[in-house]
Structure 1
Amino acid sequence: MRIIGVLLVGLLMVAGGMPGKAGAAASETPFKDISKRHWARGQIENAASRGYVEGYPDGTFNAKASVTRAEFVKMTVEALRLPHSQGGFPWYQGYISAALEFGVLDETDSADYEKPIKRIEMMRIIARALAAETVYGEYLASFQSLKKGDMPFEDRQQFQNRDVPYIALAYGSGIVNGFPDRTMRIHSTATRAEAIVLMESFLEVRKLDPLSRERLLTFSSTGNTFEATKIEPMQEEQS
């Protein structure tokens, strides 16, 4: 984990997109299927300008498409600019190897990389990446004693105790939110838009002092008294 922190100092958050899709330059107009009212337009445009995701040859972004484990790992590796090998078979092997080497991915994670990624899997990856920052790593370490019963979510019985520290850090830091019904929906899969919103939130949070993250401080000091953030339902593209 410390290796990532050293490698990331001073690096820009720039990376390549997913294989086989034509990129959209940062100066171009928004993707033709992303309206001005799309709930994730700002994050999608930021992600495209940073270069770690791309659109399709027909000028669309396809925000509702599912993201596979391989695609999300690639997105993470390239957003962090972790060194990785090029080419090979399957196409994502270099990204998986890099993620494993630098502690973003773990051998206990699913190796079925071509299947859609779940929210809990994204939280594991992002929490590990955030913990590469020493100040956040201390929080992850302090959360190791937490159990699913300590969590404030209505669906906490679906959690595995080994995942609780990752959920606590991802939620406490503000990278992810609970849903209005006080659930975390850890087994739900993610769309391209949702994955990018999470990634953009991570890239912002990792630059911030954890003392500025009120939920993180509340969770750290009281263990289980914070409440799941009530967020507005995601707004789909308007015609």
Structure 2
Amino acid sequence: MTLLATLLTLGLVAGYSVPVEAAVVKQPFQDINSSYAKDAITHLVNKGIAAGTSETRFEPKKAVTRAEFATFAVRLLGLKPVKNNISPYNDTSTTAWYYGNIAAMTNLSILEGKGQGTFQPNASITREEAAALLVRMLKQSSVSTGLLSTTYNDASDISVWARPYVQKVYQLGLMRGSDGLFRPQDQVTREEAAVMLDAILQKKEWSEQLENPDSLGIQLGWQYDSTTAEFKKQVEQSEVNTLVPRWFFLNSSMQVTDHTDATLLSWASATDREVWPLLGNRSDPAMTHQMLSSSANRASVVAQVTAYVKKYKLDGINVDFENVQSADREGMTAFVTSLTASLHSLGAVVSVDVSPDLGTDWTEAFDYAKLGAVSDYMVLMGYEEHWNGDPIAGSVASLPWVENALDTMLSDVVRAKVILALPLYTRDWSSASPATDSWDITLAEQGTRARAAGSVRQWNASLGQYVIGYLSNGMPRYIWAEDSRSLTAKVRMSTDRKIAGLAYWYMGGETADVWNAISNASRFESYLF
């Protein structure tokens, strides 16, 4: 068997992606000459979307499985397989060739299971199921089903949930049926699937978008509890293009301590990444007040930071002042105003980290509108909905809470200046003593608990995340999970609002799968079909 033929076969049978470079050579399948889908099959194979079942056979009359259709769809949409650390389904092995494709489509709410935590990957996909998948792939809205009865003689056989999808694919010209019948429960054959998917590529305004390169905007990653070597490795495995090492901190002498690592600067420059080191106050309200309440102290700190930016040729500074007193509201604005003006003279930018505005003393020191006007970026820390020490257990960052926080900020700050920070951690909660017996965990630790014997998980659509329950020493504990699926929902929500980008607290807390999920969410949301 030739190398090309091997790759084409593996593309379907073993789940390997078909390299575009190899796919430019047409595959001479022996069994498609009499198929009405011959041209569509050839086109999809040459595009690396579909593949034969062997070196010389496509088996056009064979039913296509749900896993195979998911794989074709991922490739057509230009997405990446995502091997979710928490599996969406109980009957889908994480080692199966199709797992990453099914998870990718589930994360984006394009594919759904068959109920009770099952997907049935090897079951044949029905025509009405295919209709739903095509409509969701193209982000089309549901339509009235009033014309179905006059369109198809078997309209009453179409499941109620599927009727809007069937009507829509008819309008789009992607599925039409034959002899006045739609045949909703019939299996979709491989040649039928090829015709459906190729019809999408034949529409120029759709196919051109599918060829667009990814554009993720600012992807900011904070370093935390890691060496420079570890941080570089974390960044290399991610989508992050803007580094925030923890280098500069204010002390009680009104001096800014310097922990700059020149090797990270050299590496960032060589890999075309920007560096915006963090300027922190270590959550010390008294020390921060000493600086912000004095024009002389503010000027001194601005001069010190400016000197560091000039010395190290930094691209920017990330101001992270937390636990600031309400009385320092004007001082905070004055400091950021002066710092921004000074750094702009060097071509550097200023970003300011802020918590969601919940009308509490915690955020009273931050005038969002004025800070947003004078700084280059406002970084909304979209987490700590329920915090360490909270007497009530709950999500660190549920989708509705993050959405409300972002929309509140956007009422004061222009979209082009807003960066949404997402959590790469969550919290393991005690059911008996949430405030005193709960702690932060990484996403890897979360996955270990989710897979432990006896643990249960349930997707909560209203929160946009799994809720995991397990027993520890006989006592119930709970986790509101952050994973590829929950982060996808947040990225899609924020991308829809056309903000400047995303940030992540903290690098190293994630599992590897989240980066493909984030990339997919951004890419899929960019499509305007």
Tell me which interval the TM-score lies in, with the shorter structure as reference length: 0.5 to 0.7
Structure 1 residue 33: deviation in Å? 2.1
**Equivalent residue number for residue 200 of structure 1:** 198
- Matching residue within 102, 106, 124 for 2:112: 106
The unaligned stretches of length 5 or more in structure 2 are 1-9, 84-92, 207-529
Residue by residue over 1:150-197, the C-alpha shift from the partner in whole angstroms, topping out at 9 and shown as x without a partner, is: 5521111112222111111111110011212x1100100021111111
What's the TM-score, normalizing by structure 2?
0.32
Other structure's SS at 2:164 match:
helix
Deviations 1:11-70 (A, max 9, x none): xxxxx93133897843235312222x4311111110110111112444222212211011
Moved more, 24-33 or 51-60: 24-33
Q: Which residue does 2:63 correspond to in 1?
A: 66
Asked if structure 1 preserves the Cα contact closer than 8 Å seen for 2:15 and 2:97, the reply is no
Distance in 2, Cα, partners of 1:25 & 1:157 = 42
Residue in 2 that maps onto 1:128: 136
The correspondence for 2:187, drawn from 189, 194, 209, is: 189
The 1-side partners of 2:72 and 2:49 are apart by 6
Q: Does residue 83 of structure 2 align to residue 75 of structure 1?
A: no
Q: CA RMSD in A?
A: 2.7
Asked if structure 1 preserves the Cα contact closer than 8 Å seen for 2:148 and 2:167, the reply is no
Tell me the number of residue pairs that the alignment of Structure 1 and Structure 2 aligns: 182
The structure with the greater share of residues assigned to strand is: 2
2:29 and 2:186 map into 1 onto residues whose CA distance is: 26
1:155-166 pair list within 5 angstroms: 155-166=154-165
Q: 1:207 offset after TM fit, Å?
A: 2.7
Structure 2 equivalent of residue 53 of structure 1: 50
Instruction: Verify: 1:90 aligned to 2:89, yes or no.
Output: no
The structure with the largest alpha-carbon Rg is 2
Q: Is the 8 A contact 2:176 2:182 kept in 1?
A: yes
Structure 1: runs of 5 or more not aligned: 1-15, 132-136, 209-239
Residue 111 (structure 1) shift: 1.4
Partner Cα separation in structure 1 for residue 147 and residue 160 of structure 2: 6
**2:12 aligned partner:** 18
Q: Is the 8 A contact 1:47 1:53 kept in 2?
A: yes
Aligned position for 1:153: 152
Distance 2:94 2:12 in 1: 15
Distance (Å, rounded) in 1 between the aligned partners of 2:26 and 2:203? 27
Distance change in 2, residues 1:58/1:178 (3 Å): closer
Pick 1 or 2: higher relative contact order, CA cutoff 8 A, min separation 6. 1
Q: Is the 8 A contact 1:17 1:75 kept in 2?
A: no
Specify whether residues 29 and 90 from structure 1 end up closer, same or farther in structure 2 by C-alpha distance, changes over 3 A only: closer
* 8 Å Cα contact 2:129/2:162 also seen in 1: no
Given residue 73 of structure 1, which amino acid in structure 2 is its aligned partner? A
Give the whole-Å Cα distance in 2 for the aligned partners of 1:157 and 1:29: 41
Contact map agreement 1:21 1:55 (CA 8 A) in 2: no
